[in-house]
Structure 1
Amino acid sequence: MIRPALLLCFFLAASALPAPPVLAAPAGSAVFTAPCGAVQARKKQAGDLSYQTMWRMQTRVSAMLPRTAQLITPVLRLTLDEMGERERLEFLPPVWGLAVIGKTLDTVLPMRRGGYFEVPAIAQAQARQEDAIVRFNIAPQSKTFEVAWQVAVPDGGSMPYARLAQAFDELRLAQQEMAWWDIMVMEEKNARFDAVRACFADEGGRILVDGMPAGTALSPHCILLPFEPVRASGHTQLVFAGALDSVTLDRRAKYSGTP
């Protein structure tokens, strides 16, 4: 994970950089166009983060992905330091999660269960005169972030175990390409990922390995499955049974008492 205590260093460095003349959305990202003259229900306040700063963070996170990667995607996630890891899996913001606010725009952006979000390219927010900020609808002390590595799962939720092994290989390549001297990614570069976490839209979802239930329930919506490299060389099938919200590469050490 990107170390939350060092996030301010990134904000200060990013603020010193000149704003790019045009912001282009990362491949596959949605491009939002906010309505002109939007009613500004959420007024700017102390502690808000500039849109330019958050965009640079989003761009930096996207740049962590190796060009050869096909299965994993890095996304931003709120750390929510006041919550335990299991409690954080169930976090959903009240009413709305985050919004981009400027002189003429007020656009709410989606935040998924667990605190996952994306800062999209917004045409109006690119203009300096808009003075756009990103507002999070959470306690001020929670506004720090980490990177989560999500895995693309085929429609239907079924895939060979070898596909999971490929996702771990892509993440290891990403870690190898992270600069050893970059203090912002030091923890992420050295982290040992050894499990996959599936979170479902509804309670009762299951992970099946060759038809048998597997993994440990972390919360009502999420299950953690230890990665077993030996299974990748055979014909083992993996099924995520239920409406998937996300599948993420994870670390067992984060969850105390997890085998």
Structure 2
Amino acid sequence: MVPNNVIAAGVFLLALAAHGGDARARQAAPPVAAAEQGVAADYERAGRFIYAFHKAGMSLAALKAAGKEAALSPGLAGRAHHLAQHYERILAAQVTAPDEELRAVLDEAASLGAAIAQWQGSAAAKEPAAAADSLSAAAAPTEESELPYRHYLELQRQLHGYLPPGPALVDLWFRATYPGMDEAGRDAYVPRGWAVAVRSRTAHQLVPMRRGGYFSLPAIQAAYDERGDILLDDAGRRWLGIWWTLRVPPGQRMPYAAIREARAQIAAVQAKISAFARYLKTVKRSPYDGIKACFHDDGGAILVNGKAVADAVEGQCKVLFDDPARDGADMVEFSGALDVVSFIDGRYYPRKR
């Protein structure tokens, strides 16, 4: 049965369409055509959207309740809150949003509805004893932050799929956020024990984290099917960033033009990200107008045509901004004990004076 609030929203929208229709359609067509065609299009479009939203197992009341549910995973509660706001904006605008935005909302509604149902139906799998089984007894956490594994794995697959054909010059990583730690400290961070794990009803697997908080999610079919969670070893680390790193050859020397080509591969991914993909907004909009080379000690340097260059310095990392004046450069060398070279937003790194 369709919830009353969904029926009411549908009646409200259809009444608005019957009285007004689409203003753009009325301007583009004669009055009779606008009344007959524009209203019918609004009626069908609004009805299909509201019905599909309900079929996804969602309602506005349920979303608002989930967004305030203290017992729900913080990640799921946050998603419910944002989806409720987005759905209300669409209804207030008489379902005139672009088709792409409506599809994105329906996809999120289906994903969130299934995730909430799985969360509510698998309480036994979330007991501390289950975590102790998947991790060593000595490393079993007392506090954990949980994030939806399927959601983040699909993001990872989606972005990989957007890379242009040919050899990849970049790698995609998730990066954990560490409250109270500055950027230099995060770059030098090395996990002392387990840091990331994937857990579902039948799957329990540790995930390696490299220096700096970077990790990549493995494809675990059971955890995907069972809508498992990503566990982080601190309840304060609830957010993951998406970072791109440069593939540096073994000799740590490469043509300067290769950095431009790598940045072009990222730009190709950005061009394919939907403007309505809220979780990828930062990835789509970041200029990635610099690289940050992090070393294991203070002796590392970026050499451009044999000369050490650093537009900014952050701890043991050297920053090189995108500069058209360097377009004629031949080679770049990362001299020293290199850890990782990541693409950055130069606005957050003050230029060295």
Normalization by structure 1: what TM-score? 0.74
Secondary structure in 2 aligned to 1:125? helix
Inter-CA distance 57–16: structure 2 relative to 1 (3 Å threshold): farther
In structure 2, the partner of 1:210 is 305
Q: 2:156 maps to what in 1?
A: 58
**Per-residue Cα deviation, 1:195-217 (whole angstroms, up to 9, x for no partner):** 11112244422111111111133
Check whether the contact 1:204–1:242 (CA below 8 A) recurs between aligned residues. Answer: yes
RMSD: 3.3
Structure 1 gaps, min length 5: 19-36
Which moves more between the two structures, 38-47 or 159-168? Answer: 38-47
Structure 1 residue 190, shift from structure 2 partner = 2.1
Per-residue Cα deviation, 1:47-104 (whole angstroms, up to 9, x for no partner): 4234334423432343443445721222211133433333322222332211233556
CA, structure 1 residues 229+72, in 2 after alignment: closer, same or farther (shift >3 Å)?
Answer: farther
The answer to whether residue 289 in structure 2 is matched with residue 219 in structure 1 is: no
Who is 2:168 aligned against? 70
Change (3 A) 1:257 1:206: closer
Quick check: 1:7–1:144 contact (8 Å CA) kept in 2? no
Name the CA distance, whole Å, in 1 between partners of 2:294 and 2:206: 24
Which residue of the partner structure matches residue 159 of structure 1?
Answer: 254
Give 1:250 deviation, angstroms: 1.0
SS of aligned partner of 1:148? strand
Q: Deviations over 1:179-206 (max 9, x none)?
A: 2232222232222222111122444221
User: Structure 1 residue 248: deviation in Å?
Assistant: 1.1
1:220-248 deviation digits (Å, cap 9, x = unpaired): 2x21111223323x352100112322111
Could you tell me the percent identity over the aligned residues?
28
Does the C-alpha gap of structure 1 residues 156 and 225 become closer, same or farther in structure 2, counting only changes over 3 Å? same
Secondary structure of residue in 2 paired with 1:204: coil
Task: Write the mapping of 1:27-46 to structure 2, written as runs, cut at 5 A.
Answer: 41=137, 42=140
Moved more, 109-118 or 42-51: 42-51
Deviations along 1:3-36, one digit per CA (max 9) or x if unpaired, are xx99943998344359xxxxxxxxxxxxxxxxxx
Larger radius of gyration: 2
When you count strand as a share of all residues, which structure comes out higher? 1
**3-state DSSP class of the match of 2:236?**
helix
Match of 1:252 among 332, 346, 349: 346
Whether 1:133 and 2:197 are equivalent positions in the alignment is: no
Q: Which structure carries more relative contact order (alpha carbon 8 Å, separation 6+)?
A: 1
